Amino acid sequence: MRNGAKHHPIRRRVLHRHRVEAKQRVKRVKQRIELPALPEQPVESINTGEAAISTSPIAGGQPLQRKHSFAEDLHDWILGGQDGLVNVLGSLMGVAIVTTQKEIVLVAGLASLCAESISMAAVAYTSVKASHSYYHSEHYAQRKLIEENPVLQREILIDIYEHKGLSRADAQRVVAELTKDKAVWLQTMMEEHLHMAAPEETGPAHSAIVVGLASLLGSAIPLLPFFFLSGIPAILWSSGISVTALFGLGAMGAKLTIGDWKARGVELALIGGTAAAVSVLIGWVFVSGIIPVG
């Protein structure tokens, strides 16, 4: 499965786990809380009912959006480039070992390049769109909870800050300040209680363009030698520049996060080399007649 394709399911599992943890926290707080014991500060703007929700400072408010950083764009470029390069390299090696006809190899490579780029762009688009939609639905649900039971929602925040090491008195003071501003209160609940960061200001179309272009460029790397060479020389050149490019992508990715850039570079280079070797082996099996065709 491609890296881009598996990113969204992994994110969904993480969000589900956070949601389960949040529900468990609510259950714990409900079990121990004595609602009358928690002084309720005036919340004139928070009431129940649709009419009250429409006049609330947090009602109808759009979730905050965080700025899309250069590092995040660079991560998308690396993701798309790596995925496109590895997949097209694997496809090319299998075809190139079977035939020395440059036209056939180029057609196979170009077809794989186009399909891979479109697929990666679509995956990025749907993944980001689904992530934004999920955040907005949780944002709305959390706003409703604050409207309907502000006392419990404050107590949940107090419980969170107590678990972070604050005394109950300090946690109550912090929460009292945070909940004065309804927008801050809601955003804090999203981040501290549900562990969900605000979506980026850039939409799914931006991610689709970046990942699609990155995949297109990455896919072109193993294909380039076949425009000028054929047979074993083309295979060797394609494998060599592809593995080198993957090493560079891995090293760059490590610089963006943490870890040894050399180890990460070698890791991606081994992935690309393995994909090429397996594809060559498959092609050789058919060429050698071990598996008869026709």
pTM value? 0.66
Of 46-60, 156-170, 240-254, the one with minimum mean pLDDT is 46-60
Q: Render the burial of 26-42: b for 16+ CB within 10 Å, e for the rest.
A: beebeeebeeeeeeeee
What is the average pLDDT across 165-177?
A: 91
Show the tokens assigned to 115. 């399909």
**Which pLDDT tens digit goes with each residue over 186-238?**
999 998 888 888 777 777 888 899 999 999 999 999 999 999 988 889 999 99
Q: What is the DSSP string of 133-147?
A: HHHHHHHHHHHHHHH
Mean confidence (pLDDT) of the chain: 78
Measured in whole angstroms, the distance separating CA 216 from the mean position of its chain's CA atoms is: 19
d(CA 139, CA 189): 9
Collapsing DSSP states into helix, strand and coil, what is residue 26?
helix
How confident is residue 256, by pLDDT bands cut at 50, 70 and 90?
A: confident
